Structure 1
């Protein structure tokens, strides 16, 4: 998650929050550590004011955060945190960062649809609903994603201004397993967190072994088409295109990464020079454009029928947001590009992933619909 230091709330709203939550403020202590710390917890005596037992938890930024010993209500700081927290502790979500899409609702239990919406707590898309947050009274706010240089200051400022303890959990593709173990410590859902951590470990090991077995002549190039016309892409090195590199393929778009979520703009002339082996389309509309437009027909991948629509419900297999949803993307794309290395029953993999992470048991027909 890309974070930007900005004002979090208006002064008038801030005063209201402090008055309501003042008695619940966490005792945050800064640390001089500059690298993520290992998970550490210690129980401390009950608060004299509330009688509630608390503990000190060391988060990924090395911050010591005082938390209730028993966490019952969690607020996600944004959409990426929402996905991860839903997979590990759905019944402890005090609210959502964003509504579930109509497509996602097919795979999300209806009881979660109507949770209060808090919005995103900070960043360029900040839209915090303070009234909903106050009413929900979460025990903790959890921020999940990539660490930036100012993460300690950002988390401390958020906790101080909202009067609620805030924990940062670092999570990218490589560290997703350790993130789940840390979330198990925070939420108390250690058994579920361990299952999710093991799945992530196993998937990454499988992809690394497959990648290592590829010869130089087996490398295939993949173009990740996004936007209205497919001439925007998540370029080589982009966090949104990480799955391509993880399976051992090459990202065809060797251009500068875009600083915004709209991707890097490219031209058809560049695409004709690159001639990617495989084209991925991030929507059904874009898939139809690429497979029917006469201009795109000049590409070998289109001529040979190597254009595929990325599964996207409840979340994209490739990105959007770039979270744990990419784990099933590794198996899906790996099997698509290198079937001899992966030997996957993709429908069975999808059913397993959805059961474990999204808490839904798919029928064979649903799994078929998703992968097609």
Structure 2
């Protein structure tokens, strides 16, 4: 009887040990699985951020990020920074119209809705654009406030290829990212080749008219005016760069001294004002009918916001300034661009509407 009790006790120890051993293995496997579900991603500011391996929902930090993310991975958009305008809705699938709205982190209209972001619970938040002085600190602060990984991806006109390569790696679609990068690089390389072979006296001067009166402008060196220089133009506004996209204010006397070869404007009202009001008629660009309305569908070709549309904007402006150098069919280029980046097959009527 005593021997039997000892045997039973021994068996109980073995069973208990086995049970807890299995439990520990299960916990170990579970822990390993959690580790495998995340990875370290180094963003454009040099921050090493722990992000999910499989990213399914992304929140844009502002309009620029929204546009670029829509082109690169539309089905991963977990919300919008801002509503699509009524004019632009026709270029986007209806399923994206009513996504949650988060507002924007940067800019004069900064209104990021923390509550909406927390409710949507995206896998990551992505900021895309100019590398501001304190961008790393800003991203860290936002990440700490929300408990959601925040990634910064730099996007200048000249390096949009790097932007798309990084986005491809971020969302696990490297091949597609490389295709977008190749397209952007080919456009910029062609523009740079044309520009560097122009003599200084061959380069046309350009004034970018903004505001109700047309006397605000995006100065040379500003983020919003990059497309002018890349396309081979000379930005006449060698003035202080404004702190916002609203541009630097100038006087009409200053504009008269500059006498630009070409004037580009961002609204129909301003275009009509410049070509019709007497005060503008003394400018050579107006006399020579060299005033052009910048296409703005689905977004501005020049920089409002300064996003991927500037890639087609370089081709549009370059073709206006130097048609014998660019030698492109701008209608075809617009069709190809919108097919690739906005996932839409434009009709001839839609192309005409964009370019009118």
The reply to whether TM is greater than 0.5 is yes
Contact kept? 1:287, 1:309, Cα under 8 Å: yes
**1:183 counterpart residue number:** 167
| DSSP 3-state at the match of 1:182 | helix
Contact kept? 2:38, 2:52, Cα under 8 Å: yes
Match of 2:266 among 282, 306, 309: 282
- Closer/same/farther in 2, CA of residues 101 and 262 from structure 1, 3 Å limit: same
Q: For the pair shown, which has the larger CA radius of gyration, 1 or 2?
A: 2
Contact kept? 2:259, 2:284, Cα under 8 Å: yes
**1:321 counterpart residue number:** 305
| DSSP 3-state at the match of 1:61 | coil
Query: 1-side partners of 2:249 and 2:302: how far apart?
Result: 19
Q: Structure 1 residue 332: deviation in Å?
A: 0.1
Match of 2:113 among 129, 133, 143: 129
**1:33 counterpart residue number:** none
Contact kept? 1:46, 1:54, Cα under 8 Å: no
**1:354 counterpart residue number:** 338
Q: Structure 1 residue 165: deviation in Å?
A: 0.7
Match of 2:215 among 200, 224, 231: 231
Contact kept? 1:46, 1:53, Cα under 8 Å: no
Matches within 5 A, 1:335-346: 335-346=319-330
**2:23 counterpart residue number:** none
Q: Structure 1 residue 110: deviation in Å?
A: 1.4
| DSSP 3-state at the match of 1:280 | strand
**2:184 counterpart residue number:** 200
Query: 1-side partners of 2:35 and 2:251: how far apart?
Result: 64
Contact kept? 2:162, 2:181, Cα under 8 Å: yes
Contact kept? 1:47, 1:53, Cα under 8 Å: no
Q: Structure 1 residue 151: deviation in Å?
A: 2.2
Query: 1-side partners of 2:278 and 2:38: how far apart?
Result: 65
- Closer/same/farther in 2, CA of residues 46 and 57 from structure 1, 3 Å limit: farther
Q: Structure 1 residue 153: deviation in Å?
A: 1.8
Query: 2-side partners of 1:46 and 1:341: how far apart?
Result: 62
Q: TM-score, normalised by structure 2?
A: 0.88
1:200-219 CA-partner distances (Å, limit 9, x unpaired):
10000010111122123211
Q: In the alignment, is residue 264 of structure 1 matched against residue 258 of structure 2?
A: no
**Consecutive unaligned residues in structure 1, runs of 5 or more:** 1-44
RMSD of Structure 2 on Structure 1 (CA): 1.7
Specify which structure has the higher proportion of helix: 2
Q: Structure 1 residue 48: deviation in Å?
A: 6.7
1:172-205 CA-partner distances (Å, limit 9, x unpaired):
1122111111111111122321111111100000
Q: Structure 1 residue 236: deviation in Å?
A: 1.6
Query: 2-side partners of 1:329 and 1:264: how far apart?
Result: 21
**2:24 counterpart residue number:** none
**Consecutive unaligned residues in structure 2, runs of 5 or more:** 1-28
